[in-house]
């Protein structure tokens, strides 16, 4: 469990970014932290692995106070994939990048080979095994960064803006991948402003604005609330906007998924045809 207890955080320039944030993320949850740029989303999750320490308050990871342990110790449990993979990648080849943390954590060489092969296959990177990660596209770099974290199997997986640089095909694969990991019991936390992606995944949504949490509910309730979405400077999902207009025709208002929308429209067509 990750516990955030009344956390305040200010950068050295005096700008206060977090203002009394409290939340609990239970083991096995899938959580999306959303809000406009500058809302404090990335600053908050950087507290989960100790990259940042609270100015006031505390963060506990499985009962361990992050103020009193190292980033290296927390990294074994909390895997963090940065928004910009260039801030994370440094090895000469993709294979070396994925194996680096495994060696650093003391894994056996046989296990390292197995985990590297698993990660390469999982994220469609096998053909880039011997390629420099800096020669890859932005989306491919993202997948390398994700593979390098997944290889050591952290308990908590934090993904900062994972859909940036991904086309629709890769977004769908990412969605299925995240849901699969979550169904296997891994705690997944994504930071994103991609409201359409969150709508299709339907996780718990923590909505932030001006360094505070303004909503913490299931995706359907948050993403169909115009006032909340406006307060976070976001835009309602396109499907939701459509079904709010169709409400006068008897369609429900709280629709966020394309698949649900398709089912509802087909049902109505069948009724009309009968």
Compute how many other C-beta atoms are within 10 angstroms of the C-beta atom of residue 136: 18
Query: Is it the case that residue 226 has pLDDT exceeding 90?
Result: yes
pLDDT class of 92 with cuts at 50, 70, 90: confident
Q: What is the pLDDT of residue 177?
A: 87
Query: Is it the case that residue 236 has pLDDT exceeding 80?
Result: yes
How many Cα atoms within 13 Å fall on the side-chain side of residue 254? 8
Query: Is it the case that residue 82 has pLDDT exceeding 80?
Result: yes
pLDDT in tens, 15-26: 899 999 999 999
Burial track 160-186 (b if 16+ CB lie within 10 A, e otherwise): bbbbebbeeebbeebbebbbeebeeeb
Q: What's the chain's average pLDDT?
A: 91
Give the predicted TM-score (pTM) of the model.
0.90
pLDDT in tens, 162-183: 988 778 888 888 889 899 889 9
Name the residue among 170, 176, 196, 157 with its Cα closest to residue 77: 157
Beta partners for 79?
157
Q: Which domains does the chain have, with CATH numbers?
A: 2-229 (3.40.50.300), 237-274 (no CATH)
pLDDT in tens, 238-267: 999 999 998 888 889 899 988 898 898 888
Q: Where are the alpha helices (DSSP H) in the chain?
A: 41-45, 71-75, 94-104, 109-122, 138-150, 168-183, 195-201, 219-223, 226-231, 238-245, 258-273
pLDDT class of 89 with cuts at 50, 70, 90: confident
DSSP 244-257: HHGGGGT--S----
Q: What is the pLDDT of residue 270?
A: 83
pLDDT in tens, 179-221: 988 998 999 999 998 999 999 999 999 999 999 999 999 999 9
CA torsion angle for 225, 228, 234, 235 (degrees, to 10)?
20
């Amino acid at each position: 469990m990750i516990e955030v207890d009344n956390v305040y955080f200010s950068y050295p320039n005096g700008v206060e970014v977090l203002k009394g944030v409290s939340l609990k993320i239970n083991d096995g949850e899938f959580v999306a932290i959303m809000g406009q740029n500058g809302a404090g989303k990335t600053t908050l999750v950087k507290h989960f692995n100790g990259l940042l320490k609270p100015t006031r308050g505390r963060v506990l990871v499985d009962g361990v106070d992050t103020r009193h342990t190292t980033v290296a110790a927390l990294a074994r449990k909390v895997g963090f994939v940065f928004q910009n993979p260039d801030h994370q990648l440094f090895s000469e080849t993709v294979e070396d990048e994925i194996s680096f943390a495994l060696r650093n954590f003391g894994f056996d060489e046989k296990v390292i080979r197995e985990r590297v092969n698993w990660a390469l296959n999982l994220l469609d990177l096998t053909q880039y095994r011997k390629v420099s990660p800096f020669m890859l596209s932005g989306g491919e770099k993202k997948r390398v960064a994700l593979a390098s974290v997944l290889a050591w199997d952290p308990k908590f997986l934090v993904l900062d803006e994972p859909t940036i640089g991904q086309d629709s095909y890769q977004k769908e694969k990412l969605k299925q991948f995240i849901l699969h990991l979550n169904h296997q019991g891994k705690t997944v936390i994504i930071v994103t402003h991609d409201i359409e992606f969150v709508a299709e995944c339907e996780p718990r949504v923590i909505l932030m604005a001006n360094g505070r949490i303004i909503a913490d509910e299931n995706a359907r309730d948050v993403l169909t609330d115009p006032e909340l979405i406006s307060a976070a400077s976001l835009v309602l999902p396109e499907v939701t906007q459509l079904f709010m207009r169709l409400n006068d025709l008897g369609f429900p208002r709280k629709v966020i998924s394309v698949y649900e929308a398709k089912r509802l429209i087909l049902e109505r067509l069948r009724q009309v045809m009968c």
